[in-house]
């Protein structure tokens, strides 16, 4: 018989944060990680389970009142110097059995659940993790995977007495290391429920193995593709291509490390950018070695030696103990069928990601209590207004997000707010307008910024408005700098015999209009001063937001991108962790007891309109890919000063590199109708302001 148990945290010091969780634990034939027997069940008496300890937030962030703008200055380390990040806090949890009333309520809800939410007892949750993983919630009309729903499925499966375990298919991932760490953390937590989690990995790269090795067992087919060769970072440069067609980019990048625009303005990597990218790569590779060596109980040097030998044979992974065994998918499912004691001749009883995502937390007794905490998600590139080419969930549209922020600010039912950010930045003006609204929101209730894969440039602009910032160790953040520019098309016009004449009034009237000639010296000077002014505004607001003086902020700004771990040691981030860490901090700042459940309200939860649904169906029928729409939108919407991080392409990290975007545009011009080609060509010629670099 299933027993519903609650985890209560032990007393803690006021400078430490604790979180609570509730588990529905049922006897299982799978081996519990802390049991001596595979069939061990929990006794009626309380027992302890150790959960991952949240990190301690600096007193500066913890003790400030909600919305406070005055904080004690945090010394900023100079270049090459780093402060120690906050140490983790030890915390134990006691398990107590809930009363029979709660258990009965859960059983009744499962009994009366609608068909699309019903799960047969003894089922295995099968989730296929591959491709792009969005930080936004998805509707049933949206394709792709959603990080919040993946994580929620792990939590629900841990409670659900109908789920015996999880079978994960892990294939090539197109997401950052921040999301991978979040999922990995949930795999580790799920194993503490006593249920099995089995991984299957037909294609093995560094990122896929990093995630898969968290599973209790890991299998691969004998023919699996393996490429454990190490990690790379790369940038692409189009300056030579532009010169050949007669286009000269005029760029103003403020910040020695600001690489946005380099793709169009340079033919090679600058020394500063090379230094920055080498440091980021060291962080990622070092973390990978630390995690894998800890998993296998070996020294980092042994793991690195193994990788440097060139690992391409899956048999070597089995020989070295990196995977459990070599089995095909059907063999793994046959093994799981036996493990869950399914004696009939039918195939393994499974429920997939999509269906299980529709199982409500309320059915499992996981719905929070009376206090509500708002969750505002901001993902993608930042624009100020919605463009005609915008598609649902196409990015952060400032005017829409501001409306949501104001709604939360004016409501008294929300006790705190978690601002979840996954953005490389974008329009500087839009970023500043949202910064202002987030500051006003923080004057009324606690606001905690939680960073996903990336929160850089405009993404960091948003985050720094919150009194507390939480990031993953490998979140890409910082990049405090701006870029602006225009195309000089004189040579191109001469080659195609195109003429453009302008009649103007005012000394600088042609600054943004004249692309048929180079800038005059006085125009170039004004152009640079405008960019410098935008950078100073960004830097000074960052200094004020993070309680630093301008000189301190300057040492960590200059457009430099930091990993979350390095950002924490330099005062740009307060705490390391994922969404659960941000939630624990939000509860603490809202004076909500750590052992009290709360209700998370998704403010930016998608609810597509009928035209959007029909548009999505029509797009699929016409073969118009969303990625194509996204590239066209970028081409037509880039304008003004930008707070944007350049596209940093780590191996198996990004979706489209710069040259692929260029080739995609060439493909569009070749395969679409003549009207589309003409519109794009006219836009390209007429667009005189731009931002260089592909987006993260």
Look at residue 395 and give its three-state secondary structure. Answer: coil
Burial of residue 607 (CB within 10 Å: 0-12, 13-18, 19+) is exposed
Look at residue 610 and give its three-state secondary structure. Answer: helix
Would you say 444 and 662 are in contact if contact means Cβ atoms under 8 Å apart? no
β-strand partners of 167: 126, 198
Instruction: Identify the residue whose tokens are 């591959």.
Output: 130
Kindly name the residue from 91, 450, 457, 694 that is annotated as catalytic: 457
Would you say 40 and 113 are in contact if contact means Cβ atoms under 8 Å apart? no
Instruction: Identify the residue whose tokens are 């060596």.
Output: 293
What residues have CB less than 8 Å from 440, skipping those under 6 apart? 405, 409
Q: In the chain, what's the furthest Cα-to-Cα distance? A: 87
pLDDT (0 to 100) of residue 647: 63
Which parts of 142-247 are beta strand (E)?
145-146, 163-174, 196-200, 203-204, 217-220, 225-226, 233-234
**pTM for the full model?**
0.78
Domains of the chain: 100-229+310-361 (3.90.226.10), 373-500+511-606 (3.90.226.10)
Q: Minimal CA–CA distance to 482: which of 437, 524, 541?
A: 541
**The two structure tokens encoding residue 643:** 């707070």
Would you say 164 and 457 are in contact if contact means Cβ atoms under 8 Å apart? no
Q: Minimal CA–CA distance to 353: which of 172, 169, 112?
A: 169
DSSP 288-350: HHHHHHHHHT--HHHHHHHHHT-B--HHHHHHTTSSSEE--HHHHHHHHHHHTT--SSSPP-E
User: pLDDT means per 10 residues in the chain (696 residues)?
Assistant: 35 32 33 34 30 34 34 40 42 42 75 81 94 86 85 92 95 94 94 94 96 97 95 86 84 83 84 93 96 95 95 95 96 94 87 92 80 95 76 78 96 96 93 97 97 95 97 95 86 87 90 87 90 93 96 94 96 96 95 89 68 44 42 48 70 41 42 40 39 34
pLDDT (0 to 100) of residue 237: 85
What phi and psi values does residue 566 have, to the nearest 5 degrees? Answer: -70, -35
Q: How far apart are CA 176 and CA 473, in angstroms?
A: 11
pLDDT (0 to 100) of residue 634: 45
DSSP 3-state helix, strand, coil percentages of the chain (rounded to 5)?
40, 20, 40
Instruction: Give the H/E segment covering residue 636.
Output: helix 626-637
Edge-to-edge strand ranges of the sheet holding 93-97? 21-25, 3-9, 93-97, 48-49
pLDDT (0 to 100) of residue 101: 66
Catalytic (active site) residue 575: no
């Amino acid at each position: 018989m299933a027993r519903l148990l609650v985890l209560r945290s032990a007393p803690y010091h006021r400078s430490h944060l604790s979180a609570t969780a509730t588990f529905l634990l049922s006897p299982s034939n799978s081996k519990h990680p802390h049991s001596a027997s595979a069939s061990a069940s929990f006794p009626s008496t309380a027992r302890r389970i150790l959960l991952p300890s949240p990190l301690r937030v600096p007193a500066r962030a913890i003790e400030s009142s909600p919305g406070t703008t005055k904080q004690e200055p945090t010394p900023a380390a100079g270049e090459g110097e780093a402060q120690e990040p906050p140490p983790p806090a030890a915390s134990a949890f006691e398990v107590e059995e809930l009363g029979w009333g709660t258990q009965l309520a859960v059983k009744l809800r499962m009994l009366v659940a609608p068909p699309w939410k019903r799960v047969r007892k003894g089922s295995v949750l099968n989730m296929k993790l591959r491709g792009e993983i969005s930080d936004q919630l998805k509707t049933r009309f949206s394709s792709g995977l959603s990080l919040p729903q993946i994580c929620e499925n792990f939590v629900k499966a841990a409670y659900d007495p109908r789920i015996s375990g999880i079978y994960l298919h892990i294939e090539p991932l197109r997401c950052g290391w921040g999301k991978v760490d979040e999922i990995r953390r949930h795999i580790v937590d799920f194993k503490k429920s006593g249920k099995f989690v089995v991984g299957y990995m037909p294609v093995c790269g560094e990122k896929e193995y990093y995630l898969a090795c968290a599973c209790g067992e890991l299998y691969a087919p004998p023919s699996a593709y393996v490429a454990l060769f190490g990690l790379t970072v790369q940038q692409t440069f189009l300056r030579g291509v532009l010169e050949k067609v007669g286009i000269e980019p005029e760029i103003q990048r403020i910040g020695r490390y600001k690489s946005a625009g380099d793709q169009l303005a340079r033919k090679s990597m600058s020394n500063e950018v090379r230094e920055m990218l080498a440091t980021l790569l060291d962080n990622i590779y070092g973390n990978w070695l630390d995690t894998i060596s800890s998993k296998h109980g070996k020294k980092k040097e042994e793991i690195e030696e193994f990788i440097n030998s060139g690992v391409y044979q899956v048999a070597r992974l089995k020989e070295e103990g990196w995977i459990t065994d070599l089995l095909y998918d059907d063999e793994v499912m046959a093994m799981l069928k036996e493990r869950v004691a399914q004696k009939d001749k039918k195939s393994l009883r499974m429920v997939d990601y999509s269906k299980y995502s529709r199982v409500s937390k309320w059915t499992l007794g996981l719905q929070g209590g009376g206090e509500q905490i708002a969750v505002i998600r901001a993902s993608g590139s930042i624009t100020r207004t919605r463009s005609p080419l915008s598609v649902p969930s196409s990015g952060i549209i400032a005017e829409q997000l501001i409306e949501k922020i104001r709604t939360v600010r004016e409501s008294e039912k929300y006790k705190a707010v978690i601002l979840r950010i996954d953005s490389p930045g974008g329009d500087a003006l839009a970023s500043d307008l949202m910064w202002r609204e987030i500051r006003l929101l923080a004057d009324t209730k606690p606001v905690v910024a939680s960073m996903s894969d990336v929160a850089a440039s405009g993404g960091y602009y948003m985050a720094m408005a919150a009194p507390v910032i939480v990031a993953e160790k490998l979140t890409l953040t910082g990049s405090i700098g701006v870029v602006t520019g225009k195309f000089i098309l004189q040579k191109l016009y001469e080659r195609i015999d195109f003429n453009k004449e302008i009649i103007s009034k005012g000394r600088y009237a042609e600054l943004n209009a004249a692309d048929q000639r180079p800038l005059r010296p006085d125009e170039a000077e004004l152009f640079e001063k405008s960019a410098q002014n935008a950078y100073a505004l960004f830097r000074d607001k960052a200094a004020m937001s993070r309680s630093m003086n301008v000189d301190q902020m300057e040492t960590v700004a200059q457009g430099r991108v930091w990993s979350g771990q390095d950002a924490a040691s330099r005062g740009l981030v307060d705490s390391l962790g994922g969404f659960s860490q941000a939630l624990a901090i939000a509860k603490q700042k809202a004076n909500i007891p750590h052992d009290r459940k709360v209700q998370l309200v998704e403010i930016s939860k998608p609810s597509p309109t009928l035209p959007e649904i029909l548009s999505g169906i029509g797009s699929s029928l016409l073969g118009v890919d969303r990625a194509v729409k996204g590239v066209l939108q970028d081409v037509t919407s880039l304008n003004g000063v930008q707070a944007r991080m350049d596209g940093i392409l780590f191996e198996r990290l990004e979706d489209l590199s710069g040259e692929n975007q260029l080739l995609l545009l060439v493909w569009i011009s070749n395969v679409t109708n003549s009207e589309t080609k003409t519109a794009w060509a006219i836009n390209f010629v007429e667009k005189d302001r731009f931002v260089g670099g592909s987006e993260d």
